[in-house]
Amino acid sequence: MIENKTRTINRRHLKNYLINRHDQLRIVLITLVYMSIVVMLTVIIVLFPYFSDITFSKDPNVQYRSSQIFLILVNHFLPAIVIIFFLVALHQIYITHRVWGALVNITNTIKMASKGDFTRKVFLRKNDYLKNECRPINEMLENLSSYILKINHNHSELESTLNDISESVENLSTKKEFEACLEKIRDKTDLLKENLSEFKLNNDF
């Protein structure tokens, strides 16, 4: 039972390495194309002297030695190149997985925030990238939550003040007492206005 569960988790983990298949494989392909050019130039530079001796030298001994070295190098280069390309492709998938994993987490958090839910923070795995970029997002969500809590608190106080005034309005006998009640309301609305003024909004509506 435990073994089957472990296998399921491992399969899911390996499958999820390609979070954004199109973009990740595109980056891997671009990297391999660039590596192909670099490897091709390196091989040409290394093998050209021996190829030149084989082609243009008139000394059979030089041609023989150069051809032997040429074949040895080619036989060693090919498997090494295949192994290097394979390792680089795996490494690129791993790196892009760590980047896209963070991006997916950020995207999900922003989607929740756009719906008014600021409880979800960006939690990255130990080896994920973009940690420094995620920190300001979490700070923004915490600040927004703090602002909204203050607004809710001041709104509750304003509501309570209005209730108190509505209950005692019949007992108000003078204009001065009525103005004092209005002053309480103004104080509460000023607090709300102060809270809202901390937001910078685009007024082009």
pLDDT along the chain (205 residues), means of 10: 44 63 89 92 88 84 87 87 91 89 89 85 85 89 85 75 65 62 73 69 54
Q: Residue 12: its pLDDT value, please? A: 42
In a domain, 32, yes or no: yes
Do residue 121 and residue 147 come from a single domain?
A: no
136 within a domain of the structure (yes/no): no
Query: Are residues 183 and 120 both part of a single domain?
Result: no
Q: What does the pLDDT read at residue 164?
A: 67
77 is a domain residue: yes
Q: Are residues 123 and 151 in the same domain?
A: no
Nearest Cα to 95, choosing from 17, 29, 33?
A: 17
Provide the residue range defining the domain that includes 89: 2-128
Of 128, 154, 187, the one marking the end of a domain is 128
Same-domain pairing of 86 and 184: no
Same domain assignment for residues 97 and 164: no
Which of 74, 107, 101 minimizes the C-alpha distance to 17?
A: 101
Q: Are residues 81 and 146 in the same domain?
A: no
CA–CA dist 61, 59 (Å, integer): 6
Among all chains, which residue has been given the structure tokens 């003040």?
161
pTM for the model: 0.63
- Whether 116 is covered by a domain: the verdict is yes
CA distances from 23 to 26, 28, 38, 108 (A): 5, 9, 23, 18
Q: Which of 97, 128, 159 is the last residue of a domain?
A: 128
Under 8 Å between Cβ of 117 and 135: no
Same structural domain for residues 148 and 95? no
Residue 137 lies in a domain: no
Please state, in angstroms and rounded to a whole number, the distance separating the CA atoms of residues 7 and 22.
Answer: 26
pLDDT of residue 30: 93
Structural domains counted in the chain = 2
171 shares a domain with 109: no
Residues 63 and 121 in one domain: yes
